[in-house]
Amino acid sequence: MSESEEGELLLGHEYDGIQELDNDLPRWWLFGFYFTIAFGVVYWIYYHVSTLGPTPHQEYLSEMASAGYRVPSALIKGVTDQDLLLGVVGVLCGIGVLIFAELLRADRGNEQ
């Protein structure tokens, strides 16, 4: 770029010794910017203005309902998390007693 062309592009002010040129933005950047604006407008109209798309509250209720269909089957049978944990604890305690008895027998030999 020649100095005369650069002189035409100068904005006429400088900051810390840096002169600013009035260059156009790249086309790909402008396309992305305008696409983002258009997408935001369409998204806002679809989800918040019209009744075409579900609102965030409707999506939440739908997700909770689909998750709720899996949970009550265990609750209907009367099985709760506490029952499941107590069952596991009982099994683990039984295994612990067997391991302790085996280690005690190995430690004391055949005294028992």
Query: pLDDT tens digits for 32-50?
Result: 999 999 999 999 998 888 8
Number of structural domains in the chain: 2
More confident residue, 28 or 88: 28
- 63 and 83 housed in the same domain: no
* Predicted local confidence at residue 73, as pLDDT: 59
* Token digits of residue 44: 């806002």
What are the phi and psi torsion angles at 10 (to 5°)?
A: -65, 140
Q: Phi and psi at residue 35, in whole multiples of 5°?
A: -65, -40
Q: Let me know how long the chain is.
A: 112
Which residues lie below 8 Å from residue 22, measured CB to CB, with a gap of 6+? 9, 10, 11
Q: Are residues 41 and 77 in the same domain?
A: no
Looking at the structure, do residues 27 and 9 belong to the same domain, yes or no?
yes
Together in a domain, 91 and 50: no
The pLDDT tens digits of the residues spanning 75-97 come to 556 666 776 777 777 788 888 88
Asked whether residue 61 falls in the same domain as residue 77, the answer is no
Domain membership of residue 18 as a residue range: 1-70
Rounded CA separation 72/79 (Å) = 10
55 and 101 together in one domain: no
